[in-house]
Amino acid sequence: MSEEQVVRSTRPLSTAWIGGVCAGLADHLGWPVLLVRLAFVVVSAFALAGLWAYLVLWLAMPRTVAEPSAPGLEANSRAGMRSTSAVSFSGVDLGLATALALLGIGLTWMVQVSGWGLAPRVLAVGILTGGGLGMIWWQADHVSTREVVRGSGWQRLVAPLVRHWSSVVGILIGLVSLAAAVAVLVLGSGLDELGRTILLLGSSVAAIVLAVLPWIIRVRRTLAEARQEAMLADARADMAAHLHDSVLQTLALIQRQANDPKKVTALARRQERELRQWLYGDAPTGGSLVEALTAELLDVEDTHGVDVELVSVGDTELTPELAAVVRASREAMVNAAKHSGADRVDVFAEADEDLVSVFIRDRGKGFDLAEIDEDRMGVRASIVERVKRAGGRAIIRTAPGEGTEVRLELPR
């Protein structure tokens, strides 16, 4: 389901202090977020450069949109069957925020006093503009998406605004702050009447455009998201239809084979796995070790009628060497299913940083390794040699009556 795309940094609003720009950048670059915040504050002291950079990035970076999870999980979340709110909202660390703000003020003051700073008038205009835009843009970020989609035309922009008094107040403060910026700019410009009028007009238009920009961007993005969601919903509906069809097939088969409990169990298990995968499953990504193992074990279950349970820790890309390990695992599963007499096989796969190991274990009758070598070449050729050629090793532990465990290891 995931397409190849450039990893773009986004603004996570859940951990944001203001617009989430720092949090997003920190996430993208892998730096500590405090460092990024500190950098912005320090740079802001010099001609408000940090402030401008922040505002530009605010516009450029889209909000973080949560990845859709499996349909069963989403349905359960909507129905209140699982507590998703357990995720703690980190919120703003007031102490840290105050410290950073004071640092910014202090640094700016120092720069100003030292004579390297901006003219007081320009500084005032900058701070008022930045603050005002921040107030308005923050509101744009925190309007519920649903409201935006529901309305049409102008309502789309206005309806969500008047939903809560705090957002109205926020926007008013922002506008007043912008107006003040324009006033300071115009009054202190020292131009003649005509120049002032032109400046007033120009700066007012610029302020309004800047204030409205994120709203327009937001509405456009929301509509695009809605279109994408509709496509996703279609794809899921197709998938659901296919699944329901396969459930019907399984039920029909079960009715026909009702007197063969082993087959019925196998059918039910397979269907259960398929449904569960769709409802709750993070389906293993294409071409991964776990995916390949899952495919093999389903096949072994089907052909030999045993229960094979896979537990995996970590996952990794399927290299040709690992594919050999998977084939050897399959051989071990088939051996367990055919010869051990146990009705259940446990498979455990673990992908470490430096080692991939797969364990295939049954509690069946086991065998004597020394005796079996001659007449069952399968073990030697298809498991041990195969893994050895791939650069790993296979260890078989068994004894009559003790069950069998095949351990396959491949260094990464």
Partner 1 sequence: MSENESTPAAWRVVVVDDHAMFRSGVKHDIGGRVQLVGEGEDVPTAVAAILAAMPDVVLLDVHLPGGGGIEVIKQVTATEPGMKFLALSVSDAAEDVIGVIRAGARGYVTKSISADELVEAIGRVATGDAVFSPRLAGFVLDAFSGAIDVASIDEDLDRLSAREREVLRLIARGYAYKEIAKELFISIKTVETHVSSVLRKLQLSNRHQLTRWATDRKLV
Asked if 361 interacts with partner 1 (CB under 8 A), we say yes
CA 203, 206, 212, 217: dihedral to nearest 10 degrees?
A: -160
- Mark 84-103 with x for binding to partner 1 (rule: CB under 8 A) and - for no binding: --xxx---------------
DSSP structure class, residue 159: T
Q: Give the HSE-up count for residue 196: Cα atoms under 13 Å, Cβ half-sphere.
A: 10
388-407 positions binding partner 1, by CB under 8 A: 405
Q: Give the HSE-up count for residue 116: Cα atoms under 13 Å, Cβ half-sphere.
A: 10
Q: Are 235 and 243 in contact (CB under 8 A)?
A: no
Taking the least distance from each CB to partner 1, the nearer of 210 and 279 is 279
Among 40, 54, 215, 359, binds partner 1 (CB under 8 A): 359
Asked if 80 interacts with partner 1 (CB under 8 A), we say yes
Asked if 66 interacts with partner 1 (CB under 8 A), we say no
Q: Longest C-alpha distance within the chain, in Å?
A: 107
Closest separation between CB of residue 84 and partner 1, Å? 9
Q: Which residue has 């051989």 as its token pair?
A: 331
Asked if 251 interacts with partner 1 (CB under 8 A), we say no
Phi first, then psi, for residue 6 (nearest 5°) are -65, 130
- Mark 304-333 with x for binding to partner 1 (rule: CB under 8 A) and - for no binding: -----x-xxxx-------------------
Asked if 73 interacts with partner 1 (CB under 8 A), we say yes
- The C-alpha atoms of residue 158 and residue 14 are separated, in whole angstroms, by 25
268-307 positions binding partner 1, by CB under 8 A: 269, 272, 276, 279-282
Q: Are 240 and 162 in contact (CB under 8 A)?
A: no
- The C-alpha atoms of residue 145 and residue 141 are separated, in whole angstroms, by 9
Asked if 1 interacts with partner 1 (CB under 8 A), we say no
Picking from 49, 152, 42, the residue whose alpha carbon sits closest to that of residue 105 is 42
Taking the least distance from each CB to partner 1, the nearer of 80 and 95 is 80
Positions that interact with partner 1 (CB under 8 A): 69-70, 72-73, 76, 79-83, 86-88, 269, 272, 276, 279-282, 309, 311-314, 346, 348, 350, 359, 361, 405
